[in-house]
Structure 1
């Protein structure tokens, strides 16, 4: 008899993609899967597109200051828990897997009331409120990073890594075999020389204006160094970079792309070093791929991006400069020489790969199957 799993989470692609990768792994094990999210998050589009059934509950952010939202919170939260309870009942859930975010807390609460076992997956090095709550009674807590200060109060805790998009996991396995084909295909797609060391610059789908500004101010130095660049500027942010290139007289080894809706694995395949932010997904992907990173953490939030990178930086697989310290001087001093330092990049790649988890989706699915099966 197949087991039934309800996966809760969403909001950003960084939360939805691990959920979907885990759903696929569960299906491969014969499990029935359903996702729970909100209608406002990216899961509203991404989950149905992936062929996974989505049930939505009201979005109930925890109020952080005394205002009208705090007065409305108890009623809205009870409504969300009631909706989650109905979803779990109809699904006949054998286990819940929560990935954090607004949808997870009501689902955790409903699961506890119904006696449905909970598996918490925490992707960040600094856990969020929802997963800290779920860990109090979870049968298992699965971590992306060894250093994350979260543990199941009475259950098991283990590091499984971050469930990767299948295309990224496939590339990681191919790179581990030493195959050159992905790099050659990527070079052809982006118009790069596969024989030259390549710096990939990316700020994710929205881009990172600060990184873009430093790169454009560094065009003379890039030209002098002869470094090959693949710059993913962020959706709609390529115009300023292209204009700066024209004003600088052009540079044939500099390729500009605004955003890759699909095919990020090809950008990774072309790269020898990645200059980027340090969201949990990016850090996990680079480690799985054995790619050296030069991280400039996003300087907002609660400092989770710097913490996400801490393990791989300590291991020697990446370098890090805080956003306020990343300027043209840092770029010329620290980044450009590194692109051409094959020996150091090779050592960094080995250290990064040593922390990678290519099979995180499978490991998380196996954990959930064991927990759900014990219930039955």
Structure 2
């Protein structure tokens, strides 16, 4: 049974994705762009009860409905035996949402909830639109692309049938950032010296530990050379000093989290980070030189995410196993204190940036919704 069209004529869009900021952030950017292009559009997000979406989606003013989280076990286990029944239940839950909201289109950005949402949409004869953030697609979007009405990708060359490159949907505060104009105020707000060479380090929520260890050992040499370091360690993490308390040195600042990454991008001369799809896309958009350390596990997607930016000269890539205190001393220290090289990297990165991906996605989604109602 297909959903009954809404009686008020407003388009109804169901957006599926959650768990991490890498899924929730583009989902929200897409939602805002749809409402901007089609005032009155009804937006419903599908997530789980344990992901970041439980906080971020309602805070952004959108309705969140949840389904069961159904991860795919990577090894034979009791959970693997329970997978079929759990997955069927999640599909039924997603289908109820699709019918209740009278969805005109279902949009997925990957993650645990997307696959059930795709199948629910298909069973209800509702068109599916997919956005794949990573250069190497995940399982849910590889399967979903086979039934999708539209397939969009963040990176050129992502192998999905019918894929249209649109870039990475992101908040306008990042997409429109002028780093030069905002540098002084951003550094001041973060407690940094406005006039000092600045390295900012972030390892992400799940990939910070090994980066934190190497960076912590290299910090004394960096600050002795006149570089200030803002180290975003990740929630619940810290870099200990010799006495076990958080490492404290003049010019070294460690915090667990920064609200508003545009401040980080404006303040940094150089960013040291993992190569998640959002990070690679955002540093390109704002023209921020970067040293990228791909996560050593997963399906290798982070290395592929970074490939185009590295080829352009906008970033340097170093494997996790090679990211040592000595490498930081020999490679990062000369780079962060070389304004001419940083400027060249900035220009190369900026040339790759796509600053209207949210609008492009909104157009694809509304087009698919229109196909159904015609």
Q: Tell whether the structures are fold-level matches, with TM greater than 0.5.
A: yes
Deviations 1:160-212 (A, max 9, x none): 111112332242xx34xxx52x1111121223232333111111245622222
Q: Which residue of 1 aligns with 2:14?
A: 6
- Local SS of the residue matching 2:294: coil
Deviations 1:219-264 (A, max 9, x none): 342134222222212223335159689988x33x33332211x222
- Local SS of the residue matching 1:274: strand
Compared with structure 1, are the counterparts of its residues 313 and 245 closer, same or farther at alpha carbon in structure 2 (3 Å cutoff)?
farther
Compared with structure 1, are the counterparts of its residues 339 and 245 closer, same or farther at alpha carbon in structure 2 (3 Å cutoff)?
farther
- Local SS of the residue matching 2:72: coil
Deviations 1:106-137 (A, max 9, x none): 11111112221111111111111100011001
Query: Structure 2 length as normaliser, TM-score?
Result: 0.91
Q: Which residue of 1 aligns with 2:174?
A: 168
- Local SS of the residue matching 1:121: strand
- What are structure 1's unaligned runs of at least 5 residues? none
Instruction: Give me the whole-angstrom Cα distance separating, in 1, the residues matched to 2:79 and 2:244.
Output: 45
Q: Which residue of 2 aligns with 1:190?
A: 190
Query: Structure 1 length as normaliser, TM-score?
Result: 0.90
Shift of 1:312: 0.5
Shift of 1:272: 1.2
1:5-24 pair list within 5 angstroms: 5-24=13-32
Instruction: Give me the whole-angstrom Cα distance separating, in 1, the residues matched to 2:279 and 2:359.
Output: 19
Shift of 1:147: 2.8
Compared with structure 1, are the counterparts of its residues 218 and 89 closer, same or farther at alpha carbon in structure 2 (3 Å cutoff)?
same
Q: Which residue of 1 aligns with 2:135?
A: 125
Instruction: Give me the whole-angstrom Cα distance separating, in 2, the residues matched to 1:48 and 1:18.
Output: 15
Q: Which residue of 1 aligns with 2:281?
A: 284
- Local SS of the residue matching 1:148: coil
- Local SS of the residue matching 1:218: helix
Instruction: Give me the whole-angstrom Cα distance separating, in 1, the residues matched to 2:247 and 2:274.
Output: 27
Instruction: Give me the whole-angstrom Cα distance separating, in 2, the residues matched to 1:268 and 1:298.
Output: 21
Q: Which residue of 2 aligns with 1:275?
A: 272
Shift of 1:276: 0.9
Compared with structure 1, are the counterparts of its residues 256 and 73 closer, same or farther at alpha carbon in structure 2 (3 Å cutoff)?
closer
- Local SS of the residue matching 2:35: helix
Q: Which residue of 2 aligns with 1:347?
A: 344
| Greater Cα shift, 214-223 or 127-136 | 214-223
- Contact 2:237/2:256, CA 8 A, preserved across alignment: yes
1:46-61 pair list within 5 angstroms: 46-61=56-71
Q: Does 1:312 align with 2:309?
A: yes
Instruction: Give me the whole-angstrom Cα distance separating, in 2, the residues matched to 1:163 and 1:28.
Output: 14
Compared with structure 1, are the counterparts of its residues 243 and 236 closer, same or farther at alpha carbon in structure 2 (3 Å cutoff)?
farther
Q: Which residue of 2 aligns with 1:294?
A: 291
